[in-house]
Structure 1
Amino acid sequence: MALHILMRIFGVFVVATVCFFSIYNGTTLFTLHPVLMSSGFLLLMSEAIVAFTSNSFVASNLKYNERLTLHWMLQLSAATLIGLAFFSIYSHKNNNNYDHFVTRHASLGLTTCLMLVGTMCGGIAARYSSAFRKKIKPALLKIIHSIVGVITYTMAIITFCLGIDSEWFRAQSGAKLVTILTYSTGILAILALIQPFLSILTKMRKVNNEN
């Protein structure tokens, strides 16, 4: 639970700081992008990831089906904010006749969003894995979903760090704060992923031993 509390502290710090420096000069379609994207990925998706772990003080006393419901509700909420963030920056560039997906941040961000869609589809397949029992073991399908989810979240973290390292955000916050936010985001990611990663390894060994 201590890891979850630390994760929340770092998450709230990073997101609150990004939100402040993004909109303190005014709210536009452009400034809404980092606000919505950081809230979706760093807060809600982080919570969705740890919902199945013993670190979660929110879900620690919940039954498996209740944790599952909490996971997909958080994931759906995160995807909604991320979708709105994508729409806001896309609309902003259209309105100003800017080219789309020309930076590393934008290209990786698009790939991450596509991966997110795939991850969510995989989550539906994992939820009803018994229906695919004849083609693939339910346990293996759930492991694949978890691995893709970890990869997607990692890509989101990298995309976010590229975003706050942009000239625009550096001008808003300063280089030192960008460095602090980058390290804080890295710590947040480690805290969110460490137990899911260990869980994947344990499940993989179990499936391997059953073969």
Structure 2
Amino acid sequence: MDNINEENIEELSAMDRNSESSRLVAPNNTTKTSYLNLVSNICALIFLGIIMFCCFKDGVTLFSFHPTLMSLGWVIIMTSAINAITPGDLATEWMPIRLRSARHWVLQVFGGIIILVGFLIILSNKIINDKPHFTTLHGKFGLAALIFMLSTMIGGIGALYSLKLKHYLAPIYTKLIHASVGMLSLCKRAAVATQHVNTYTEFNVNATIARWTS
């Protein structure tokens, strides 16, 4: 009987550790550390550096901040937010699960704000120069990615409070929808990375460098 009770206690403890309302618990040490996220972060930093070089090489304009902020928000911060909850991530594997979750949504909010600022900058630049909006593939895909991003962030609130919403939708489905839409929005943005720099005529000769980097 004592053995059965001990097994039940251990099982309940494991369930409590994995629940949404759990306290800070130690990370899973059995997960093998992956260095791919580190490599992707290094590549992202190189990409951002070259984009900034192309934007500010010939001076500072309002437009210069649009590709810079978009690259920072999407390629650096949003990717880091996803990596924060990826098993084996070198930077966050040592963190308790609740801390990793907090890091994820804080980075998502921060990245979302930067992306919105970048969007408002290009919108203002179009208005100032009396240019049409969302006429290029880049503009259309960018707007779609922005809508997907906002939908993902709203879904993130549902995922954060999935247990409180369990009477309406099972937590596993809430998180699955959030993760699926999030990956779709990030892939949509990554899929048009070439158009992202290819349509920047202001880059002039530097556009070739940016395209190859992308």
Unaligned runs of 5+ in 1: 183-211
Matching residue of 2:5: none
Offset at residue 170 of structure 1 (A): 5.7
Give the 3 Å change call, closer, same or farther, for CA 23–65 of structure 1 in structure 2: same
Is contact 2:45-2:76 (8 Å) kept?
yes
Give the 3 Å change call, closer, same or farther, for CA 180–13 of structure 1 in structure 2: same
Offset at residue 80 of structure 1 (A): 1.1
Supply the distance in 2 between the matched residues of 1:71 and 1:174 (Cα, whole angstroms).
33
Give the 3 Å change call, closer, same or farther, for CA 121–50 of structure 1 in structure 2: same
Supply the distance in 1 between the matched residues of 2:200 and 2:41 (Cα, whole angstroms).
28
**Higher RCO (Cα < 8 Å, 6 or more apart):** 1
* Residue 88 (structure 2) pairs with residue 55 (structure 1): yes
**Which residue of 149, 154, 158 corresponds with 1:121?**
154
Matching residue of 2:213: 181
Supply the distance in 1 between the matched residues of 2:54 and 2:108 (Cα, whole angstroms).
26
Matching residue of 1:103: 136
Question: 1:119-143: CA deviations, max 9, x gaps?
Answer: 0000000110112212211011101
Supply the distance in 2 between the matched residues of 1:40 and 1:173 (Cα, whole angstroms).
22
Question: 1:54-87: CA deviations, max 9, x gaps?
Answer: 3322211111110011001111111111011001
Is contact 2:201-2:207 (8 Å) kept?
no
- Amino acid in structure 2 at the alignment position of 1:78: G
- Further displaced range: 63-72 or 162-171: 162-171
* Residue 52 (structure 2) pairs with residue 19 (structure 1): yes
Identity of aligned residues (%): 27
- Amino acid in structure 2 at the alignment position of 1:61: W
| More helix as a share of residues | 1
Aligned length: 181
Unaligned runs of 5+ in 2: 1-33
Offset at residue 163 of structure 1 (A): 1.5
- Amino acid in structure 1 at the alignment position of 2:77: L
* Residue 6 (structure 2) pairs with residue 6 (structure 1): no
Supply the distance in 2 between the matched residues of 1:164 and 1:55 (Cα, whole angstroms).
32
* TM-score scaled by length of structure 2: 0.80
Supply the distance in 1 between the matched residues of 2:182 and 2:200 (Cα, whole angstroms).
30
* TM-score scaled by length of structure 1: 0.81
Supply the distance in 2 between the matched residues of 1:167 and 1:44 (Cα, whole angstroms).
22
- Amino acid in structure 1 at the alignment position of 2:213: L
Query: Which runs of structure 1 show a deviation greater than 6 angstroms over 4 or more consecutive aligned residues?
Result: none
| RMSD of aligned Cα (Å) | 1.4
